[in-house]
Amino acid sequence: MIIDTHIHENKYSFDSFLDFKESIELGKLMGLDSMCITNHDNNHLRNELGDSAKINDVLVIVGAEILTFEGDILVFGLKDIPKEMISAEELLTLVKKHKGAAIAAHPFRNNNRGMGENIRKLKHLLTGVESFNGSTYSYHNLQAYALATELNIPSLGASDAHKLPKLGSYATKFYDTIRDHKDFIEALKVGNYHPVMRKNGKYENINYYYEDHIVSEEKTI
């Protein structure tokens, strides 16, 4: 399954221009099997839609992007969003208590909203790292990928789309069967997935290896 794990729609994310229905229609055309709507610091869409729903043959999974003192974290399975800003450790502990999943979003983005090196001390509480974010500079994505690889934390890809042209620019290929949000959370914890990028109308694997410098080697799925 190809899943874009980080999308904002314009009803409940103040900075998004992306219409919910249009995004599902385009996502289906692009080959996305599932889309995660992760609006900023609220669960309002979940109150309307539930934790997940099949819409136009696309599995929509509802999470949230929550800003902590250390940066943004994508959470799934957390029914009550903290009303005030808390630390990353507090949020991650809360997610773990509720048997959810948590992903460090765009860790090294240049707007000071990523966890960055704080991932080192909190890696035991993280489910994954969003190493490839479609709204982040490539060299910051590579920095995130390098840290996730060093710490042996699974890497994901996502668009972080706030506008339709960004949708599905990066995504994650899952090898497990995902029918709803429960399957999704379990699949995140198992770690049987990897980031992919959209190129020439197809999703391609992203593989990096280190010699004297970083080399990108892409293969069609």
* Mean pLDDT of the region 175-203: 97
Q: How confident is the model at residue 220 (pLDDT cuts 50, 70, 90)?
A: very low
Give the per-residue pLDDT at 17: 98
pLDDT of 208 reads 59
β-strand 155-158 against 128-133: which pairing, if any?
parallel
Average pLDDT over residues 128-134: 98
pLDDT at 100 (0 to 100): 98
Residue 77 has pLDDT above 50, yes or no: yes
Q: Which domain holds residue 148?
A: 2-217
- List the Cα angle 11/13/16 in 5-degree steps: 90
Question: For the domain that residue 90 is a member of, what is the CATH number?
Answer: 3.20.20.140
The arithmetic mean of pLDDT across residues 59-87, rounded, is 97
The per-residue pLDDT of the chain, averaged, comes to 93
Quote the pLDDT of residue 102: 98
- Residue 50: pLDDT over 80: yes
Read off the pLDDT of each residue in 135-144 and give the average, rounded to a whole number: 96
Average pLDDT over residues 212-217: 40
Report, as an integer, the average pLDDT of 173-201: 97
pLDDT at 198 over 90: yes
Please say if the pLDDT value at position 18 is more than 80: yes
pLDDT of residue 187: 98
- Overall number of domains in the chain: 1
